[in-house]
Chains A and B, each alone.
Chain A
Amino acid sequence: MEKWILKYFTLIRVMIALIIGVAVTILMIYLISEYPGESLKYFFTGPLASKGRLFNIFEMAAPMIFCGVAIAVSFQADQFNLGAEGSFVIAAAVGTAFAVSTNMPAFIHIPLVLIVAGVTGAVWSLVPGILKAKWKASELVSSLMMNYVAFYFSLFLINSYFRDKDAGFLVSLRLPETALFAQFIPGTRMHFGIILAVIVAIAAYYFLYHTTSGYEFRQTGYNKKFARFGGINIIKVIIMSQVLLGFIAGVGGMSEVMGIHGRFLWQAPHGYGWDGIIVAIIGRSHPILIIFSSLLLAYLRVGGQVLNLMGDVPAELVNVIQALIILLITAEAFLGQWKYRITRRQAEKEEAAK
């Protein structure tokens, strides 16, 4: 039992953090709501109560998976890059611009638009990568700045050249039918991008855990000096991790346009990149786990919406809870005493067995 706890300690810690988060949620609903029983039901079973809401979870999880996997790839190489947001937005804008100004059959158009978006995102996130690799400039600050540049540049591009003047508000022209993802379940917005997100996560898992380059990423993240000593080209790893981050986030941004909205419509930063950080932390930067952490976060968000709509507790409760969960997961020393005691007892036992 104790050996098992040690082996899966990080996972158990995440689980305990999640349980505490849920417990606090229940407590807060009890304190605030006039009819707590009903409210709890709305929150926990609401997302599963109708077809629309259930698939809402998957729709909402797709961009989280893309951004979460993108960020996880850079986290694994010990890069703290906030640039997923910027790549996501600028790739969506450039991809939209490309899609509305070209015309070709769907089976070429869709992959081509996705590639254009992915490459845009990759090039964009190359900037913090190069600055870090060449001059050791903090990727945190430079990627944050590049997010703003990406956002304003996207607005400029869409509002000045690709604006739909017939629409009542500032949005881009609609994408041609040939560049839209098919929505395959009637009555929902389930689209191909959601499947693509899962494929990307699996591919990222394969890359990180089953290829030499992926090993180099993780080794660099684990111990830079040792990695360099072992002959790994750190600069290459840093730059490659940023490029991958930008590419995945870029494809995610475009997929959101092609699957859900059909046009570029963000006039204020939406925070997809921040969502990505949340799910990457909860999923411990493991691409497969990120699929589940994204679904979990989306489930909580939909639950919050239902609660907000039907009950008397605001949806922002979820934001408070997710912050608490992240704080607990990132606190290395949280449950550290417990682990220490188990490790010590194990060692004593082994000692006695000798």
Chain B
Amino acid sequence: MNELFSSIFSVNFGFAILRVMTPLLFPAMGIAVSTMAGSQNIAMEGSMLIAAFFGVIVGAFTGSLWLALLAGIAAGVLLCMILGYFHLKLKADIFLSAVALNMFASGMTIFLLFMITGDKGSTSSLNSPVFPNLTIPLINKIPVLGGILSGHNILTYVALISVFLFYILMFKTPFGLRIRAVGQNPHAAESVGINVNRTKMYALMLSGALAALGGLYLSMGYVSWFSRDMTAGRGFIAIAAATLGGMMPLGTMLSSLFFALVSAVAIYIASLNIPSELIQLIPYLVTVVALAVFSGRAIKRKKEKEIEADKELETEKDE
């Protein structure tokens, strides 16, 4: 037990949590954006995978990190645009289309992987660039905290900064207001001249870009290669993280942190020969409970509002 505590309260452990959090936080924000626009995009898994793949491939063949970044984001956004096209134009159910696109991404990446490298497992034969790690001056001098916060991959910092940008975008700009308006009441939004479909499409594209960054981090930061189905359900865990975080920026970050903490603990515990499966299921269980509590509260609030409205009506009548 002592061994467990000493490893959990170590600098390495804190560092590991942020490392594990990054590929959850990006798609979780993607879920949050699309949910705010009223079209929850569960194709995060596919977008991450396809971005991770094209990032590595383009990086390996051009040697340029920028082109790799661009290709990855373009692939992720494109997948979500296809989703948008089918959902908004062809009136397909967004969940079913997203399920199909996740399958498509998984199949397509393995397919192309084989066509390009002749290997179905991974791109380890290719020499692809990775995003650099950053040592943050001043902060890295702080004992303990410096060790945890400094020296991460640049995308980890991008993820943390984008939580802040996400807040600004959604709550301080007209664009964010439009997205939220469309999500809350599309008819009302339309009546004041907002193009509902276009706004939803932008939100889906944004969610695709965020997922793509998560995917790029996996194949060009977390490790330096692409392997088949390497997202391993992170795009789905992101749904849990965003739900638990109430689709709000800070909440989503905290719940991603929580999921990362639990999986990091599970990894440590597994190395001590204690069954780690029970630890690993905790975040999902917590999400189910939280979902029940939040939904219950939302219904109660709605009922209270209805009762109030009824009372107001009655008093108006009396007058």
Contacts and interface: CB of A to CB of B under 8 A. Distances in A.
Interface SS, B side: helix
B288 A136 contact: no
B78 to A, nearest CB: 14
B100 A323 contact: yes
A322 B101 CA distance: 10
Q: Which of B89, B96, B120 counts the most A-chain CB atoms under 10 A from its CB?
A: B96
Contacts of A131: 288, 291-292, 295
B93 A141 contact: no
A24 to B, nearest CB: 12
Contact of B90 (A140, A152, A274, A333): A333
B299 A136 contact: yes
A331 B90 contact: yes
Contacts of B294: 137
Contact of A330 (B96, B236, B285, B291): B96
A156 B275 contact: yes
A283 B86 CA distance: 20
Contacts of B108: 316, 319-320
B280 A152 contact: yes
Contact of B101 (A136, A142, A281, A327): A327
B120 A135 contact: no
A135 B296 contact: yes
A152 B288 contact: no
B58 interface: no
Contacts of A145: 240, 284-285, 287-288, 291
A326 B284 contact: no
Given A131-B291, A156-B278, A330-B100, A318 B107 contact: yes
Contacts of A153: 277-278, 281
B104 interface: yes
Given A137-B291, A160-B275, A319 B284 contact: no
Contact of B281 (A140, A149, A269): A149
B13 to A, nearest CB: 21
B288 A142 contact: yes
Nearest to B90: A331
B54 to A, nearest CB: 16
Given A131-B295, A145-B291, A160-B275, 17 more contacts: A32-B115, A135-B295, A140-B42, A141-B239, A141-B243, A145-B284, A152-B278, A152-B280, A152-B284, A153-B281, A156-B277, A277-B99, A319-B110, A320-B104, A322-B100, A327-B92, A331-B90
